[in-house]
Structure 1
Amino acid sequence: MTHPWHRTLAPLALVAALTVALSACGGGTTDRGEGSGKPGGTFSVALTEPDHLIPGQTTSSYALQVIQGLFDSPVTLDPEDGHVVPLAAESVNSPDQQHWTVKFRAGAVFHNGEKVTAQSFADAWNAAAFGPNAWETNYYFAQIEGYDQMNPAEGRQPASDKLSGLKVLDETTLQVDLNAPFSQFPMMLSFPAFAPLPSAAFTDAKAFDLRPVGNGPFEMDGDWQHNQKISLKRAASYNGTRTPKADAVDFKIFTSKDTAFTELQAGNVDIVTTVPAARAAEAKRSFGKRYSVRPSGTMDYLGLPLGEKRFADPKLRRALSMAIDREGITQAVYNGVFTPADSLVAKMVPGHRPGACGETCTYNPAKAKALFDEAGGLSGPLELYFSNSDPTYEQWMTSVAQQFKQNLGIKDVVFRKMANADLGPLLNERKSTGPYRQNWVIDYPSMQNYLDGLFNSDNRMGWSSARFDALVAQGNAAPETDLGPYQSAEDIALQELPLIPLWNWQDQSAWSPRVGSVVIDPYVTGLHLDKVTVTS
């Protein structure tokens, strides 16, 4: 993600273990040196319409692709092996994995000239952690002391609007006290929600969302033109470690990834970071060395609205899972590029266990029907929710609907297809009345990222388990090599199944001969905008 600094940010054992665990995975990909190009020029990237551009307000991969160009978070992850690398921070240290000291680089400024200080980070984290703000990344701050006072039980007022665990020691030093030891904390700091915010973010949030002011290598070039484009240009004030090779990047917004790929073929866009799996063979023929397939931490699931009584019985949820032919769908819709899920976490993640999901994720129509009937079945229409951003979503939802009809006897299935920008808020507010496509794009290579991210207290399913929470907390406090508690927590989630694992992606990307030095990692950064060169 940045220049290859190898300074230790986490305890040395954590970084070493992480590097060893991921070195065989081949995390990032490049264009193999083709067309190195010269500094300067403008390139374009296909994008789906984001929901927000304020870092703490979104977890959408579409938004984060833009945000990572606008903002430097404290650290980043090396694209090849996932180890922690400094970015806005110089160091992240702790004597006990509970009390951390984050030292930031001196001399950094926001794009408007305002100085970036430790207070800039504290202000941003407090805004995201404050419950009434309802920012989507709120749960990322639950480990920090004082979070509970900012997020009381429903019906109660917050006792504070600031995290008591954040202490600004001086202009470049922030002390972070956690509720308990948490070995994954340095990796978590790579997530854009931990980026700083200038004072302008708090004076007019709506205006700031249209034209955010960051501390990263690129700055906004005009306002975000909704459903059309987002233009960035090299930030003249940037003095960090990710100096851009290109002068500018235009994000061209498409409602369909299929359309985006067609535009790439026509020469109207330079980089497509997600080639539709159905067009894999075509992409390989058309782009050759400018087409890449790599292991991914991205997973698709079928989320279930447990607030609806019809889905309250785990037997019924297991029946739905066993009625889905994952192998058949991944072959028919994704040409075998995606692989059937056998776990809640991706295969590339340390701690993944082959077959963890067992028979629950194995196609068995007869047993599915027996469980379905035993649970009392479903009355009324079954609504399935998904976005319109990729034609394959409707294709696999159609297959799932047919299998539910054939294998379970469900007669009435209704599709609720909508723009991703509309679907996200609906799911976050738990307003779906039926199963929905749930996707998780890995932030950092840890089981904790999936378990906390998918099943935190604000999870879309409305599921809670004290045993699960206790095991995740135990895993957080355990030595970084002890993944047993996380695996036990996964077992509980697989038994109760509020979320049905479907398949594990492999990421496919392609780019035009106009660009070179294309680096794409499987973590939150995705495409490294700063490294791209323009060759013509």
Structure 2
Amino acid sequence: MKLSKRRGGLVAAGVAAAMMLSACGGSDDNGGEGGTAAEGGGSFSVYVGEPENALVPGNTTESEGHQVISSLWTGLIEYAADGAVEYTGVADSITSEDNTTWTIELKDGWTFHDGTPVTAQSFVDAWNYTAYSPNAQGASYFFSNILGYDDLQAPTDEEGNVTGDPAAEELGGLRVIDENTFEVELAEPFAQFPVTVGYNAFWPLPEAFFEDPEGFGAQPIGNGPFQAEGEFVPGQGITVTRYEDYAGEDPANAETVEFRVYADLNTGYNDLQAGNLDVLPDLPPDAIASAEDVLGDRFLEAPSSGFTYLGYPTYDERFSDPRVRQALSMGIDRQAISDAIFAGSREPADAFVAPVVDGYREGACEYCDLDVDAANALLDEAGFDRSQPVELWFNAGAGHDAWVQAVGNQLRENLGIDYVLRGELDFAEYLPLLDEQGVTGPFRLGWAMDYPSPQNYLEPLYSTAALPPAGSNATFYSNPEFDALIQQGNSAENNEQAIEFYNQAEDILLEDMPSIPMFFDVEQAAHSENVSDVVIDVFGDIDIANVVPVS
């Protein structure tokens, strides 16, 4: 998921545990009928940034839109706050005898907010729509391992220009068996497939979506604990109300929730302190040191799956040489920036995979250590022109100014390279520019896992299949050897074998350095006195249904 972002809680259940849970599901005692609507009511407000796209699951690949749609939809499976897989969603079971053909059985009783049933066809139609390249859905890549995906991609020339229509409009690997059953055939075995399907790319869509996809994104119809009260208004937000016929086990506590769009994180923090905002999922860096004293137990801090990095535009000749990319990374003192800007709360990143999942290797990144002499030698060897400043890009209003400037100051002091800050675009403008190869220097992004696997830190960000617009590979890095190792990991028979291949793939990244690992994040959020039971999950979202208004 592309992020502005953040955050998350510790993954208590690693991939091995998640895979064991995913092998089969099982009905709850309610026979799939779900819980009953929560008593009480009340309302509260939540800070969000401007979503990049309309509120459609298959085209929401960043944090701000995801925070909203996660209250409106429930997927096949759900993830607990610690990242463990739970069969509390629409799926009753997800099973396979060969890790290639998977049978998905749905529970009875699930409905969309317009009253129509959630069926196997609801998932198959949604997946086909998202995978079909002319629909330009940002999460298309997540279906690339399903048989027939390549046939849904329009042919292109060497410059990436579309030269014709796709060979097919539907994935050959999807088959509806009956109203509550469908089958998924993958191109290659993938033991972790059930772990992935809780991500929003895999959520269902009602028939109403296909009648007006564009209008649907303004006032979406999901199957989650809340339903859209009206349209999402850019620059303002959207209000959602509790869905009384929700079939899940955990109905919403609040009667209404107002998602408010803010252009600046500091404004949100000021509103929270003044009692004009109830939930703030992130804190400005200059507020971190004093937040606990100011807010008391309303300040929340927890480990995170979030990972902050500076991506390189590898398509830019100036950054096409791996030696240059290695050198700039070695010219940065991450701990000094953490201490000065984040009160020491950010852990310097030493790998491309975060510590919260199996497969992380401490100290894996040799080019993440400060080594000024080696960095300068590499720049000289590569013939890097130090007379021209480096442009450092970041999105506006999210508290990134100070630490990115600190990076620039270190590059100037340690490597003799001046810099220009490019932080004038808000997040909804910034992400499309990255996808259009419009940036001219290292750019700030973050990532919090979509599902608990080391693969999710590698393939969605650096594989050829994940190049925009199908995925989140904004560096436009492509390496066939990396792609092949990822595929070997995906096809492995067990978790240990998979991690071996993922580690080998990461080793290639650690040498090619398509981005600069900066920090492993920590969850820092806050809430007002008007709410309780505020929980931030490992993926960086507030559990909106769990929040209880108290006044």
TM-score, normalising length from structure 2?
0.88
Is the aligned partner of 1:523 residue 2:524? no
Give the superposition deviation at 1:443. Answer: 1.2
Quote how far apart the aligned CAs of 1:405 are: 2.1
**Change in 2 beyond 3 A, CA 1:501/1:317:** same
Whole-angstrom distance in 2 between the partners of 1:354 and 1:221: 47
Paired with 1:81 and 1:213, the residues of 2 have a C-alpha distance of 26
Q: Which residue of 2 aligns with 1:25?
A: none
TM-superposed CA distance for 1:80, in Å, is 3.2
Structure-2 separation of matches of 1:39 and 1:356: 51
- Confirm or deny that 1:243 pairs with 2:256: no
Please tell me whether the aligned partners of residues 291 and 510 of structure 1 are also in contact (alpha carbons under 8 angstroms). yes
For 1:206 and 1:16, locate their aligned partners in 2 and report how far apart those are by CA, in whole Å: 37
What letter is aligned with 2:548? Answer: T
Matches within 5 A, 1:182-193: 182-193=190-201
Task: Compute the displacement of 1:186 (Å).
Answer: 1.2
Match of 1:6?
A: none
Alignment correspondent of 1:436: 443
Q: How big is the shift at 1:16?
A: 5.9
CA contact (8 A) 1:297 1:348 kept: yes
Greater displacement, 515-524 / 445-454 = 515-524
Counterpart secondary structure, 1:387: coil
Q: 1:357 aligns with which of 365, 373, 377?
A: 365
Bigger shift: residues 112-121 or 418-427? 112-121
Q: What pairs up with 1:149-160 in 2 under 5 angstroms?
A: 149-154=151-156, 155-160=163-168
Q: Which residue of 2 is the match for residue 424 of structure 1?
A: 431
Give 1:197-212 correspondences, 5 Å limit.
Answer: 197-212=205-220
Match of 1:494? 510
Structural mapping, 1:118-267, within 5 Å: 118-154=120-156, 155-267=163-275
Distance 1:405 1:156 in 2: 48
Structure 1, unmatched stretches of 5+, are 1-9, 19-36
| Contact 1:17/1:481 (<8 A) preserved | no
Post-superposition Cα deviations, 1:179-209, rounded to whole Å, max 9, x if no partner, equal 1111221111110111111122223222111
Aligned-pair distance for 1:403? 1.9
Distance across 1 between alignment mates of 2:86 and 2:145: 19
Structure 2 CA distance for aligned equivalents of residues 287 and 416 of structure 1? 29
2:382 & 2:16 partners in 1: Cα distance? 49
SS in 2 for 1:113: coil
Matches of 2:463 and 2:240 in 1, distance apart? Answer: 34
2:44–2:278 contact (8 Å) kept in structure 1: yes
Aligned partner (choices 529, 532, 535) of residue 547 of structure 2: 532
Aligned pair in 2 of structure 1 residues 230, 128: CA closer, same or farther (>3 Å)? Answer: same
Q: Who is 1:33 aligned against?
A: none
Residue among 56, 59, 68 paired with 2:58: 56
In the TM superposition, 1:63-462 aligns within 5 A as: 63-80=65-82, 82-154=84-156, 155-358=163-366, 360-378=367-385, 380-391=388-399, 393-457=400-464, 458=467, 459-462=473-476
Deviations 1:240-281 (A, max 9, x none): 223111111111111122221121111011111112343223
Q: Distance in 2 between matches of 1:519 and 1:382?
A: 40
Q: Does 1:46 align with 2:47?
A: yes
Residue number in structure 2 paired with 1:484: 500
Answer whether contact 1:41 1:247 (CA < 8 A) is retained.
yes
Write the deviation string for residues 38-69 of structure 1: whole angstroms up to 9, x where unpaired. Answer: 62110111111112311100111111111111
In the alignment, is the contact (CA less than 8 A) between 1:110 and 1:237 conserved in 2? no
Match of 2:35 in 1: none
- Cα distance in 1 for partners of 2:21, 2:88 equals 16
Letter in 1 for 2:509: A
Query: How far off is 1:412 after superposition?
Result: 5.0
Quote the offset at 1:153 in angstroms. 4.4
Deviation at 1:387, TM superposition (A): 0.5
Q: SS where residue 496 of structure 2 aligns?
A: coil
Larger mean Cα displacement after TM superposition, 450-459 or 188-197 = 450-459
- The answer to whether the Cα contact below 8 Å between 2:16 and 2:495 also exists between their aligned partners in 1 is no
The residue type paired with residue 211 of structure 1 is Q
Alpha-carbon separation, structure 1, partners of 2:419 and 2:17? 56
Distance 1:115 1:387, change over 3 A: same
Structure 2: which amino acid aligns with 1:116? V
Matching residue within 14, 20, 44 for 2:19: 14
Summarize deviations over 1:275-334 as a string: whole Å, max 9, x none: 234322322112222222111111111111111111111001101111111111111111
Give me the whole-angstrom Cα distance separating, in 1, the residues matched to 2:416 and 2:463: 33
Amino acid at match of 1:74: L
TM superposition shift of 1:481: 3.3
Tell me the CA shift for residue 81 of structure 1: 5.2
State the Cα distance separating 1:514 from its structure 2 match: 1.4
Q: Is the 1:78–1:85 contact (alpha carbons within 8 Å) kept by the matching residues of 2?
A: no
One-letter code aligned to 2:189: P
Residue 249 of structure 2 aligns to a residue whose secondary structure is coil
Confirm or deny: 8 A CA contact 2:22 2:85 kept in the other structure: no
Distance 1:58 1:303 in 2: 20
- The one-letter code sitting in structure 1 at the alignment partner of 2:176 is V
CA separation of 1:71/1:275 partners in 2, compared to 1, >3 Å: closer, same or farther?
same
Q: Distance in 2 between matches of 1:413 and 1:370?
A: 23
Structure-1 residue corresponding to 2:3: none
Distance 1:281 1:260 in 2: 17
Moved segments of 4+, more than 4 Å: 10-13
* CA distance, structure 2, for counterparts of residue 407 and residue 141 of structure 1: 44
Q: Which amino acid aligns with 1:233?
A: T
Asked if the contact 1:74–1:195 (Cα under 8 Å) also holds between the matched residues in 2, the reply is yes
The Cα of 1:149 is off from its aligned counterpart by 0.9
For the residues of structure 1 that align with 2:419 and 2:289, how far apart are their CA atoms? Answer: 35
- Going from structure 1 to structure 2, the CA distance change for 1:501 and 1:17 (only over 3 Å counts) comes to farther
Residue by residue over 1:448-475, the C-alpha shift from the partner in whole angstroms, topping out at 9 and shown as x without a partner, is: 1111121132121111111111111111
CA distance in 2, matches of 1:469, 1:168: 31
TM-score normalized by the length of structure 1: 0.91
Task: Give me the whole-angstrom Cα distance separating, in 2, the residues matched to 1:56 and 1:233.
Answer: 23
TM-aligned CA deviation for residue 221 of structure 1: 1.1
Decide whether aligned partners of structure 1 residues 295 and 161 sit closer, same or farther in structure 2, where only a CA change above 3 A counts.
same
Deviations 1:130-153 (A, max 9, x none): 112111101111111111111254
CA contact (8 A) 1:344 1:490 kept: yes
Moved more, 361-370 or 148-157: 148-157
Deviations 1:354-408 (A, max 9, x none): 00102x00111221111111111136442221101312x1111111222222222
- How far the C-alpha of 1:411 sits from its partner, in A, is 3.5
Aligned amino acid, residue 426 of structure 2? A
- Aligned twin of 2:5: none
Q: Distance in 2 between matches of 1:252 and 1:172?
A: 37
Q: Gaps (5+ residues) in structure 2? A: 1-14, 24-37, 157-162, 468-472
**174-183 vs 455-464, which moves further:** 455-464
Structure-2 change in CA distance of 1:448 and 1:161 (3 Å): same
SS at match of 1:371: helix
Change (3 A) 1:505 1:236: same
* Cα pair 1:445 1:523 within 8 Å, conserved: no
Quickly say closer, same or farther: Cα 1:38–1:335, change in 2 above 3 A.
Answer: farther
**How far is 1:13 from its partner?**
8.1
Shift of 1:159: 0.5
How many residue pairs align between the two structures? Answer: 506
